[in-house]
Amino acid sequence: MKLNPTQVFLLVAAAIVILAAGPFFLPPFYVRVGQLMLYAAGLGLAWGILGGFAGYASFGHAAFIGVGAFTAGLVEDKFSSLPALLLLPLGLLAGAACCAVLAALIAYPILRLRGTFFAIAMLGVSHVCAELTNNIDFFQGSMGLNFPPIAPAGMDPADFFYEIYLVAALFILLVSWQIRRSRFGAGLLSIREDEDTARMLGVPTERYKRLAFVVSAVLTGVMGVIFAHSLGYITTESVYRDDTNLSLIVYSLLGGMGTLFGPVIGAFLLVFITQVILGRLLDFHLFATGLLLVILVLSAPGGIAGLLKKRKRTAT
Amino acid sequence: MNLIAQTLADGLVLGGIYALAAVGFSLIFGVLHVINLSHGVLVLMGAYLALIFSEALHIDPLLCIPPVMAVLFCVGYAYQRFLIQHAVDRASLNSMLLTFGVALMLQNAMIWVFSPDMRSITPSYAFTSFKLGPVNLDAVRLSALAASLILLSCLAALLRFSPLGRVIRATAQQTMAARLCGVNVRHVYALTFAVSAAFAGAAGIVIGIILPFSPNDEGGWTLNAFVVVVLGGVGSPAGALIGGLLLGLVSTLTAQYIGPAFPNVTMFLLLVLLLLVRPNGLLGNAFAPSR
């Protein structure tokens, strides 16, 4: 089935309208689940720009969630006299800028590492950021930071943040789609397939990798700022989370590594499984995630997108 | 002066234990090229098994080392043969994620069985200590260090002189050539994993008598093992010993002179720095020469 551009456009527009209308007909619990799904999808997409397209799987992207959240919190604290509506854009700008600077600084040394070493070094970055935030009084990581309520009066904050998450996730999807179909994206894919050959053929691998790292970090930071606002109060533990570090990989793995929609499918599915199906079995949470991971690696290393592709290939 | 000597002594003791806890991880990394993220779980399994044995039989925890090693040897063999082997031939990230999944499951299982509380093993000589010049050494730490060094030497001898060691080294150097010479590579992989798991279990016992432990520590021990291996070099007990001692010294010195909250920060800075200037660790890859 091949769709022409008008049909695709209509389909996408319809999907967006249905998603945006979610809070008006869903019960509150599912609005909350929807928020988490969109948050997870946005993070998964941002991670995928580096981990999926370029094949540099990071084990420490929570570092950028934390850096974004804390920068935004500290900056908004300074400008707390501004109207509430200006605070979120200000925080987003500050958080994104700080993530960009941090990523650009560590990109040079850390991107010289490959594969597992890169993954673990990123985990190290995340832990170091978390410990510094926790132990240096200026960042108030152990005491916690408060965020001002920014939802407009008369609107349920849960619904408001649902829409914000939706906008952010769509924006990240757009960015990653544009990257995927650009020359830059093709360069990233070639780095994933064979970095040395790509370099030999004239792909500016170092520049592309660094750019992908910074873009991925900034988008992750943006999601972190929104997440912090929706929580209203953050500490080191609530943003620098090792289970986030892991989940980001699992989203892509579940949906399909390196595909555009893979992280979205994976994020929706995993959040649905853990929040709705396993919601009452908290003791079982870790075990189920682990089991899912084992089954995935053994039976479907290409994720759901990989399974679909395989079926299509065997059908033709 | 006293403080420096005491800090150095504590660092060396801790380092010896780090080395023992990392040597299995290093061996698996060197031979199978698998990052075993469930290593910390195996270490803790050793500690809990020793707790059970020593409480049930009323024997010294260090005497539990042989039975615990035997149990974990079998566990390790089966684990590699039935699970990890299926992921070994694929990309390296797959086997890493597989072991991570297993680690999550086992950690959760340990929380059910042993509760998430801190536990510790207390041998009868827990409160004896010696004075060596200005340095205070308690019997527990001293016996832990001795046990670590003895076990590390045993592993080094096993790899160097025994037929099994020869086969393991051959497989690590040239898998294909070893297979051509009649080595059953899958069996060797499983044996390597079994030996590594056994040493992880032994490390768990040694850790158990000097530090409290809980199921939530497993990630920390896995990370320590990774850092030790990157610092020292892959595959050899000597590399693990150097990396372990370095890590022990750095973390006690940082805790003493910079602040108790910062050992991890310095540890990771050191790690990244070393990865950049000497990617193969201080001693290099033990199995690399013929590659």
Q: Please list the residues that pair with A102 across neighbouring strands.
A: none
pLDDT at B198 over 90: yes
Cα A58 to its chain centre, rounded Å, is: 12
- Residue B94 sits at the chain A interface (C-beta within 8 Å): yes
Q: Which domains does chain B have, with CATH numbers?
A: 2-277 (1.10.3470)
pLDDT at B39: 92
Picking from B87, B98, B105, the nearest residue to A287 by CB comes out as B105
Q: Are the CB atoms for A73 and A227 separated by under 8 Å?
A: no
How many Å apart are CA B67 and CA B132, to the nearest integer? 34
Query: Which of the four pLDDT bands, split at 50, 70 and 90, describes residue A94?
Result: very high
Query: Which of the four pLDDT bands, split at 50, 70 and 90, describes residue A316?
Result: low
Task: Please report which residue ranges of A62-114 form alpha helices under DSSP H.
Answer: 62-78, 84-110
pLDDT in tens, B78-110: 999 888 888 876 666 778 888 888 998 998 899
pLDDT at B167 over 60: yes
How many Å apart are CA A277 and CA A273, to the nearest integer? 5
Picking from A116, A289, A294, the nearest residue to B35 by CB comes out as A116
How many Å apart are CA A185 and CA A53, to the nearest integer? 7
Query: Which of the four pLDDT bands, split at 50, 70 and 90, describes residue B290?
Result: very low
pLDDT in tens, A192-246: 888 889 999 988 988 999 999 999 999 999 999 999 989 888 888 888 887 788 8
Q: Where are the domains of chain A?
A: 36-241
| ipTM score assigned to the predicted complex | 0.78
pLDDT in tens, A60-87: 899 999 999 999 988 888 887 777 778 8
Tell me the longest C-alpha to C-alpha distance in chain B: 59
Q: Which of the residue ranges A156-170, A293-307, B9-23 would you say has the lowest mean pLDDT?
A: A293-307
Highest mean pLDDT among A112-126, A133-147, A166-180, A251-265: A166-180
Q: What is the percentage of chain A residues whose pLDDT exceeds 90?
A: 28
Burial class of residue B105 (count of CB atoms within 10 Å of its CB; 0-12, 13-18, 19+): buried
pLDDT at B132 over 80: no
Between B222 and B125, the higher pLDDT residue = B222
The shortest C-alpha distance from A282 to chain B (Å) reads 11
Hey, what are B74's tokens?
């079998």
The shortest C-alpha distance from A74 to chain B (Å) reads 22
Rg value, chain A, Cα: 20
Query: Which of the four pLDDT bands, split at 50, 70 and 90, describes residue B291?
Result: very low
Hey, what are A101's tokens?
């600077």
- Residue B265 sits at the chain A interface (C-beta within 8 Å): yes
How many Å apart are CA A117 and CA A120, to the nearest integer? 5
Nearest CA in chain A to B99: A294
How many Å apart are CA A8 and CA B87, to the nearest integer? 39
Q: What is the pTM of this model?
A: 0.81
